[in-house]
Amino acid sequence: MLTDLDEAGLLDYRSAVVDPEDFDAFWTAQLQRAAEHPIDVRATAVDSLLETIDVFDVRFAGHGGHPIRGWLYLPKHRTTPIPGVVQYQGYGGGRGHHLESLLWSSAGYAHLMMDSRGQGSGYRRGATADPVGPSGPTIPGQMTNGIEDPAGHYYTRLYVDAVRAVDALRSFSTVDVTRIAVVGGSQGGALALAAAALRDDVAAVVAHVPFLSDIRRASRITDAMPYKEIGRYLATHRDATERVFATLAYFDGVSLARRITAPTWLSAALMDSTCPPSTVYGVYHELAGEREIRLWEFNGHEGGGPDDDERALRALRAVFDRTNGIGRSKG
Amino acid sequence: MLTDLDEAGLLDYRSAVVDPEDFDAFWTAQLQRAAEHPIDVRATAVDSLLETIDVFDVRFAGHGGHPIRGWLYLPKHRTTPIPGVVQYQGYGGGRGHHLESLLWSSAGYAHLMMDSRGQGSGYRRGATADPVGPSGPTIPGQMTNGIEDPAGHYYTRLYVDAVRAVDALRSFSTVDVTRIAVVGGSQGGALALAAAALRDDVAAVVAHVPFLSDIRRASRITDAMPYKEIGRYLATHRDATERVFATLAYFDGVSLARRITAPTWLSAALMDSTCPPSTVYGVYHELAGEREIRLWEFNGHEGGGPDDDERALRALRAVFDRTNGIGRSKG
Amino acid sequence: MLTDLDEAGLLDYRSAVVDPEDFDAFWTAQLQRAAEHPIDVRATAVDSLLETIDVFDVRFAGHGGHPIRGWLYLPKHRTTPIPGVVQYQGYGGGRGHHLESLLWSSAGYAHLMMDSRGQGSGYRRGATADPVGPSGPTIPGQMTNGIEDPAGHYYTRLYVDAVRAVDALRSFSTVDVTRIAVVGGSQGGALALAAAALRDDVAAVVAHVPFLSDIRRASRITDAMPYKEIGRYLATHRDATERVFATLAYFDGVSLARRITAPTWLSAALMDSTCPPSTVYGVYHELAGEREIRLWEFNGHEGGGPDDDERALRALRAVFDRTNGIGRSKG
Amino acid sequence: MLTDLDEAGLLDYRSAVVDPEDFDAFWTAQLQRAAEHPIDVRATAVDSLLETIDVFDVRFAGHGGHPIRGWLYLPKHRTTPIPGVVQYQGYGGGRGHHLESLLWSSAGYAHLMMDSRGQGSGYRRGATADPVGPSGPTIPGQMTNGIEDPAGHYYTRLYVDAVRAVDALRSFSTVDVTRIAVVGGSQGGALALAAAALRDDVAAVVAHVPFLSDIRRASRITDAMPYKEIGRYLATHRDATERVFATLAYFDGVSLARRITAPTWLSAALMDSTCPPSTVYGVYHELAGEREIRLWEFNGHEGGGPDDDERALRALRAVFDRTNGIGRSKG
Amino acid sequence: MLTDLDEAGLLDYRSAVVDPEDFDAFWTAQLQRAAEHPIDVRATAVDSLLETIDVFDVRFAGHGGHPIRGWLYLPKHRTTPIPGVVQYQGYGGGRGHHLESLLWSSAGYAHLMMDSRGQGSGYRRGATADPVGPSGPTIPGQMTNGIEDPAGHYYTRLYVDAVRAVDALRSFSTVDVTRIAVVGGSQGGALALAAAALRDDVAAVVAHVPFLSDIRRASRITDAMPYKEIGRYLATHRDATERVFATLAYFDGVSLARRITAPTWLSAALMDSTCPPSTVYGVYHELAGEREIRLWEFNGHEGGGPDDDERALRALRAVFDRTNGIGRSKG
Amino acid sequence: MLTDLDEAGLLDYRSAVVDPEDFDAFWTAQLQRAAEHPIDVRATAVDSLLETIDVFDVRFAGHGGHPIRGWLYLPKHRTTPIPGVVQYQGYGGGRGHHLESLLWSSAGYAHLMMDSRGQGSGYRRGATADPVGPSGPTIPGQMTNGIEDPAGHYYTRLYVDAVRAVDALRSFSTVDVTRIAVVGGSQGGALALAAAALRDDVAAVVAHVPFLSDIRRASRITDAMPYKEIGRYLATHRDATERVFATLAYFDGVSLARRITAPTWLSAALMDSTCPPSTVYGVYHELAGEREIRLWEFNGHEGGGPDDDERALRALRAVFDRTNGIGRSKG
């Protein structure tokens, strides 16, 4: 049932999110610090039980040089170089079992499925630790891990991991570095937006029902997790409200969108109470490049599901054919 | 949390299910009647967006000659003949979007995903009608559709469809007819058991957390759907209890197990309230052939998920290597 | 709690429902096809255990000539002809046990309680099959049974049954055919509206908290069943939205209301999330004849309950006294 | 689902309830005190809108001489004297709207529907105050109203009302005083047991899924209201446990049963968590007279619903025919 | 999540509550009648196990002269006279265990914790009976106890108790009668408002998330208990709506606020569905004296919890220092 | 309602928990490593707004030398030395607001309320970070933080903090080091058991409804959090079961109990599904010293609440009077 704006309202809505003054400086500094660690990609072939796909257990150095795990899937019968896709996970999930994500490689892509540090026990198991403890008390989950300090926040680490996952994929010779897309749903969508905003070599972006967008609005209009983690923290730490949202401003998809020039495909769902549609349209209206959004009228947070997947496959086929692998640059 | 027997209890448990006297006659008659309709398999290539797999939209004549839909997946780079797998769906699901089921073909099998007539709107969409109306009032869902008459029951039609799906897969020349397995989870597991029990040419069976087993016990010890559909029907139709269970006896996995000689891999989950583990062990202890069961200690009805998938891949690899494609025959 | 419009909003609200162009032609054709089957009413006296009422187990030929069951109640001490009432059931219910519906006959009416084909296991048991299978996959329940084709939709059959139930009651000599009312609550209210809109000989209509009105609006503003069945279907069958609502347009109470000239009593409940009050006012504002609506401020879908019953008894007593049994005609 | 004993266990089960030593003295004193108030029955004819039944708004002097309301229904076409039925309500309900209870008078009985003092707002509205305040703090509801003192407990008042309702019905000349039955479900069943145990002129008893039986056991094995009111009270008043159960012992159906010699029909439901079946069998096994119990296998607290009603009608028809109106006496 | 007005809306909102014409006369009469009973305070020292606080078990004559219990806490090392605080409880709670409320005495106040008659079993146990029975049927709980007659309503009794609790505290020589504050949360906040409105010697008021304010609005915009008790009553007693709200008008915090001249501290919580914030702002905007309100952005009905306590301590410290114990008088 | 053993079963029950072989060596090593960091207690007076109690904001060096926060409460009028109490928090809670815990100091004790690192946002806010990140993916919450390695598990750090909190309290000259008790409920009870088992100078132990006891049994018989965090982790990490329980064995209250010689007061609640009573009796039966357990028949996890507090005050008063401050020693 409708609990957010309707279609007309979504088209009119513009987010009130304001970028922190030092937004770009913050991220430049974070990425530079991370760059002090070589990417150090290692890939080990897996006895996958598959005949059409080669699977590798990958690790690379993410934020702080911490080892980040992932699966690399390559179509066995390939003529290099092939386009690449980096995919990110939804909240609580990890890279999963290697048999769970066969889509992109079956469609001919070099596919890196990045694990989310510290997550990966909720519905797809992960294998990556987040060895950094929070700077204060937290609500269980990642939203308030480091909530009173941007540099120490969990999402600084995860966003940097996401950016560096593209470097990891680029390091494989089989990959056409001019044709790399970033994709994901929910938290994965936020990470795709982050990678596209903080790099200048991403060729396309697919973000389904993205999380972490228009965050303060979201935390007020829904009781669904994980946005509600913020509200639960503030219900106890009553004096922390402004500090908390000042921290979260560095991760807001609306600010990221203003920095994305690659073509971007979004989806939203009219009855999504986890990532309410207005917060996705808040992102959409700020995108700096080509953009398309699909609103699913009767869906919740599952969004378009396999129909979103098909739409993503078609979108990337079109953009990669059209561009013949252009190197997109920012600014 | 534990709501059924514990490990020791499961090993000791034996189901009290008694086969209807005319169980075999009933099914022989049903299959003969179905056999009057030629299998009439039609396959249309799909623009799948995939590069490693060929996908076909398939239909064949099921019970009553009704058209049953499915997806056929073939690895693009194949050397025929290849082993085949017929997969069945859980309750409420359909064959889904063609992008949703890439596992078995990626592992080198000719994979037929059968649609479940009339289902396919709950979590994976279907495309197959069940053009036969019930013989009386029902509780929404399939459990009580035709509940007071075995021949008119929904599951007679679906079981016959399941049996004929194997004929459909056998009709493709690319398939090694001596190496066809039937697989599925929950309702899909029940259908796999049915196909294996009612045919003599199935080489292996994989049934995860199977539904429709030890049905009367199940309907008394859990409030979870869909077993609860039976209880809801009987709560209103109070005088129908014996007729209802007399009907359902023709579909019980325990009786099917007594007729299965192909090697069978089961899984059960200790905390599964949808298909309580004792009802799966009720099946296990009656299997006539080789058998193996895996009990997942902390899982509910999701069972082993991708770990069950991996186990299934390993099992079939072993049995097909070992047997080199033996034609198994019944007693 | 208030989740729809308040009193002022309800008075201002006008539904956006547009009649399908061939609405009248569609129903004329359906009724003509049904009329090819003689009504064929059969009544068998029941050992009712009652002393003031005679009860008959009735069947008549509904849509497709299918046998539709019902109870006929007649006051034992009667001086014919007496006025008649056809009553329809809410969603999931059937005609019930013959002891459950003593009101109308105790009040002096010949009372036909029509069974709803295929329903009747949820809270009042039924005895009537719907022998027609759906034309595609469905969500459990009736809403999406035949959802992509008006002529094959479940509600075409049930509406035709409802229309013919009046013929069935008229066939009893004890009944004054000029004084027949149609009554019902929820789905039963929708059927009463249908019978009144599609016939020209109904003398009065009582529809409490009617279902199937302003359907698209309803399906967007509530998560309650059974409207939610539509949303659940569309959540999986994402491309079917327009076809689905095109089908449902043939059953919408708003369009029916435009064709009703008999005096009509409606009720709505301000806190009804099953049939939100705005959708009932959508009907109310379109009624072509005399009309009255009662809004219950603190009720949910139970509406006025026995107070609605009393109101209905008073209304019919007034209209039948006043008119002295006029034959009302349309247009 | 099964949460209490199964069929075999129910047959074996015997309640551990022990009668308070002064049980009979207590009730004798209570009834004598009540008898100081003349029964003072008043009946006012209601404009019932009915043609087969006469309805009267009745009041009589209950416990403390307080006015207790009720409906008296008489078949309009009657040949006196006719047998009578006193019916009691379930927890939270009242005598309801006068149109809600047409069964017994339609079956030829003089039917007195007694209101429950202070209740009657939950699902059937009442009209009777309980002008006595509790002797201490309470949990909302009646269970703990006066919980630490039997004479001051709510149920002492209500049980006395129930006993005197029979006197009220006997006072009507149209009633055959040798053929009066007491009936009810849930709390109404407890009241029927109380009236039969505390009088010697009740000819038959019908108690469906009776409440207030084997109370301490019930309060430990279910979390359903209203038994849970006891547990909620004791969760706060931790030192009151023994006093509370000492009070409740005066109302326990098990002790009542030991004093009932009239033929008694009980029903229980295997999946009833409101009044668990073992507590009903606790009553059954102690009944001193003829007895019959019906166990509904798949029902919850709704028990047999209209099937229980039919069973009650048949039972009374049999007993009243057989006895030809005997005056039954105790011990 | 936000379900009522947002910050801007709260500032603009003005309640539509209209005082009953005889509001003041009603309360004057009630208090005069109560005054016929001497206050009759009795205090018994408790073996409290505490070393810094003296605890007394207190009773005084409330409405009708009924004995009302409470705890009196005095700091052991005190130099009299000391300021006093009367505290009232939330709905369902009582004075609790004497160890549960050490705050105000530890802060140097003579602290009287008044028990709520008839309540005190939900989360803090009470010890006070409400010996007056309701004048008609009720919904469990206090809201509808006497709902159709102001003088007989439960809250007339409890409000009078609250007013007289101040007399009780004033009777202790250790207390500075010019410096007595009334405090409470939820129902306790309503009682504090009542005491301040109906007396002229209360020096300060603290009411956190007060209940019983803007009652009709509250009963329509939330489904949370205890406001919902009203709606549940009216759902059955459909014709009583206007009488019910006419009764409740005598207890409405909005009308009370218009009569309060003492400085008042309120709190509200933006996500409070038990006492929606607009109903608290309805009170705030009508306060006749100094006032301050704190809105907690991410809290529900727990409001500011210990932060509200700290705010209250600071407020009273300021007002009592500033005024040096002025005797405040009304108009 | 009863979901675990009844009273008789609890008395008979003995836990199957086996101590890890190196249990003592493990903890000796952990405490030695911690001891390399000086305790470094710092206390800052707080403007508490209280007149009977002095409050200090305390920090000391816990596991890894990390700063652990707490409140120290001292009765203002004290004659040193006074006995001391270290209190620990339940899961999700922190030391709270300094106004929330006035009991023990009001009773004359030097009271140190220890914060739980990383917790303190759920219902009482904390102020202490856990700066150590987990060694792998986790389920939100602390149970699976470091779950595959005892030395890296969260509870190793928290248990060491708990042990050192006693050192912190001992460092205040106002405290009588021979009379220090450790107290807590739920997780706080587990920490009290840990401090008593791993030190030899604790004079008394109070553990109400303790958590972390008989852990594997608990994780199988309840679905309540936080034990369920284990099950949720294992539902995804299916192969980790034995490693997980091998880790948790170092924290099990049953093993701790075998090492406790100080007199110990436990409480359990018969209807506690968070910490099922059998798991508490599992601890009780293994206690090496004096012991007493109180079973609350109708309580859930709230246990005895203030009645448990009173019992604790009485117990400590007795033991400290009796012993006159004995220094208890182990073995």
Predicted local distance difference test score (pLDDT) of residue F322: 67
Predicted local distance difference test score (pLDDT) of residue D80: 78
Task: State both tokens at A63.
Answer: 């934020």
Cα–Cα distance for residue pair A65/B261, rounded to 1 Å: 55
For residue F72, which of F63, F81, F61, F84 has the smallest C-alpha distance? F84
Cα–Cα distance for residue pair F71/F97, rounded to 1 Å: 9
Q: Residue E238: which of C1, C271, C296 has the nearest Cβ?
A: C296
Three-state secondary structure of B97-159:
CHHHCCHHHHCCCEEEEECCCCCCCCCCCCCCCCCECCCCCCCCCCCCCCCCCHHHCHHHHHH
Tens of pLDDT along B5-19? 999 999 999 999 999
Tens of pLDDT along D118-162? 999 988 999 999 999 998 999 999 999 999 899 999 999 999 999
Q: Which chain D residues are within 8 Å of C77, Cβ to Cβ?
A: 52, 76-77
Distances D190 to B99, D102, F307 between C-alpha atoms, Å: 61, 22, 35
Is F117 in contact with F146 (CB distance < 8 Å)?
A: no
Q: Environment class of residue A200 by beta-carbon count within 10 Å: exposed (0-12), middle (13-18) or buried (19+)?
A: middle
Q: Is the ipTM of this complex over 0.85?
A: yes
Which CATH number is C7-323 given? 3.40.50.1820
Work out the mean pLDDT of chain D and round it to a whole number: 95
Left if phi > 0, otherwise alpha if psi is -120 to 50, otherwise beta: which for A84? beta
Cα–Cα distance for residue pair C112/B56, rounded to 1 Å: 53
Average pLDDT of D44-66?
98
Cα–Cα distance for residue pair B239/F246, rounded to 1 Å: 53
The contacts of residue B223 (CB under 8 Å, 6+ apart) are: B231, B273, D1
% of chain B with per-residue pLDDT over 70: 97
Side-chain-side CA neighbours of A131 within 13 Å: the count stands at 10
Q: Residue C1: which of E223, E238, E239 has the nearest Cβ?
A: E223
User: Inter-chain contact D138–E125, Cβ cutoff 8 Å?
Assistant: no
The contacts of residue E143 (CB under 8 Å, 6+ apart) are: E154, E226, E227, E229, E230, E233
> Are 3 or more Cβ–Cβ pairs between E and B shorter than 8 Å?
no
Is pLDDT of E176 > 70?
yes
Average pLDDT of A274-300?
97
Q: Domain limits of chain A?
A: 7-323
D98 falls in which pLDDT band (50, 70, 90)? very high
Is pLDDT of C151 > 90?
yes
B323 falls in which pLDDT band (50, 70, 90)? low
Tens of pLDDT along D155-176? 999 999 999 999 999 999 999 9
Is pLDDT of E277 > 80?
yes
Q: Residue E296: which of A230, A232, A238 has the nearest Cβ?
A: A238
C67 touches chain B (CB under 8 A): no
Q: Which chain E residues are within 8 Å of F105, Cβ to Cβ?
A: 52
Average pLDDT of F118-143?
94
User: Inter-chain contact E123–D236, Cβ cutoff 8 Å?
Assistant: yes
A309 touches chain B (CB under 8 A): yes
Spot the catalytic one: D116, D186, D213, D219.
D186
Spot the catalytic one: B267, B272, B278, B308.
B272
DSSP for A275-326 reads S-HHHHHHHHTT-SS-EEEEEETT--TTTTTHHHHHHHHHHHHHHHHHHSS-
Tens of pLDDT along B175-216? 999 999 999 999 999 999 999 999 999 999 999 999 999 999
Is A44 in contact with A169 (CB distance < 8 Å)?
A: no
Q: Which chain C residues are within 8 Å of B96, Cβ to Cβ?
A: none
Helix (H, G, I), strand (E, B) or coil at F119: coil
User: Inter-chain contact A236–F129, Cβ cutoff 8 Å?
Assistant: no
Query: Count of A–C CB contacts within 8 Å?
Result: 29
Helix (H, G, I), strand (E, B) or coil at E103: helix
D330 falls in which pLDDT band (50, 70, 90)? very low
Q: Residue E106: which of F52, F307, F309 has the nearest Cβ?
A: F52
**Chain D closest CA to C172's CA: distance in Å?**
20
Predicted local distance difference test score (pLDDT) of residue D198: 98
Side-chain-side CA neighbours of C272 within 13 Å: the count stands at 29
Cα–Cα distance for residue pair E315/E109, rounded to 1 Å: 14
For the question of residue B97 being annotated catalytic, the response is no
Tens of pLDDT along E20-51? 999 999 999 999 999 999 999 999 999 999 99
Q: Which chain F residues are within 8 Å of A62, Cβ to Cβ?
A: none
Average pLDDT of E62-67?
98
Interface partners of chain C (CB pairs < 8 Å, 3 or more) are: A, B, D, E
Tens of pLDDT along C197-231? 999 999 999 999 999 999 999 999 999 999 999 99
Tens of pLDDT along E212-248? 999 999 999 999 999 999 999 999 999 999 999 999 9
D136 touches chain E (CB under 8 A): yes
**Chain E closest CA to C1's CA: distance in Å?**
5
Query: Catalytic residue numbers of A?
Result: 186, 272, 301
Q: Which chain D residues are within 8 Å of E138, Cβ to Cβ?
A: 118, 121
Task: State both tokens at E52.
Answer: 């810094």
Q: Which chain A residues are within 8 Å of E307, Cβ to Cβ?
A: 238-239
For residue D124, which of D146, D94, D162, D153 has the smallest C-alpha distance? D94
B271 touches chain F (CB under 8 A): yes
F236, F238, F244: best to mutate for the A interface, most A CBs within 10 A: F236
Spot the catalytic one: B186, B213, B219, B255.
B186
Q: Residue C108: which of D51, D313, D314 has the nearest Cβ?
A: D51
Q: Which chain D residues are within 8 Å of F224, Cβ to Cβ?
A: none
Q: Residue D52: which of C53, C313, C314 has the nearest Cβ?
A: C53
**Chain C closest CA to E223's CA: distance in Å?**
5
User: Inter-chain contact E133–D130, Cβ cutoff 8 Å?
Assistant: yes
Cα–Cα distance for residue pair D174/D170, rounded to 1 Å: 9
Q: Which chain D residues are within 8 Å of B248, Cβ to Cβ?
A: none
Three-state secondary structure of chain C:
CCCCCCHHHHHHCCCCCCCCCCHHHHHHHHHHHHHCCCCCCEEEECCCCCCCEEEEEEEEECHHHCEEEEEEEEECCCCCCEEEEEEECCCCCCCCCHHHCCHHHHCCCEEEEECCCCCCCCCCCCCCCCCECCCCCCCCCCCCCCCCCHHHCHHHHHHHHHHHHHHHHHCCCCEEEEEEEEEEECHHHHHHHHHHHHCCCCCEEEEECCCCCCHHHHHHHCCCCCHHHHHHHHHHCHHHHHHHHHHHHHHCHHHHHCCCCCCEEEEEECCCCCCCHHHHHHHHCCCCCCEEEEEECCCCCCCCCHHHHHHHHHHHHHHHHHHCCCCCCCC
Spot the catalytic one: B115, B208, B301, B308.
B301
Spot the catalytic one: D214, D272, D278, D308.
D272
For the question of residue B37 being annotated catalytic, the response is no
A 45-64: CB under 8 A from B: 49-53
Cα–Cα distance for residue pair A113/A185, rounded to 1 Å: 13
Is pLDDT of B326 > 70?
no
User: Inter-chain contact E237–D121, Cβ cutoff 8 Å?
Assistant: yes
Average pLDDT of A17-31?
98
Is pLDDT of E62 > 70?
yes
Interface partners of chain A (CB pairs < 8 Å, 3 or more) are: B, C, E, F
**Chain B closest CA to C260's CA: distance in Å?**
31
C79 falls in which pLDDT band (50, 70, 90)? confident
Is pLDDT of E330 > 70?
no
Beta-carbon neighbour count of residue C131 at 10 Å? 17
Cα–Cα distance for residue pair B235/B229, rounded to 1 Å: 10
> Are 3 or more Cβ–Cβ pairs between E and C shorter than 8 Å?
yes
C238 touches chain A (CB under 8 A): yes
User: Inter-chain contact A2–C241, Cβ cutoff 8 Å?
Assistant: no
The residue in chain D having the minimum alpha-carbon distance to the alpha carbon of residue B229 is D298
Task: State both tokens at B320.
Answer: 């097909």
User: Inter-chain contact F123–A236, Cβ cutoff 8 Å?
Assistant: yes
Work out the mean pLDDT of chain E and round it to a whole number: 95
Phi, psi of D59 (to 5 degrees): -135, 145
Query: Catalytic residue numbers of F?
Result: 186, 272, 301
Beta-carbon neighbour count of residue A289 at 10 Å? 16
C298, C308, C311: best to mutate for the E interface, most E CBs within 10 A: C298
The CA R_g of chain C, rounded to the nearest whole Å, is 19
Predicted local distance difference test score (pLDDT) of residue D104: 98
User: Inter-chain contact B129–C134, Cβ cutoff 8 Å?
Assistant: yes
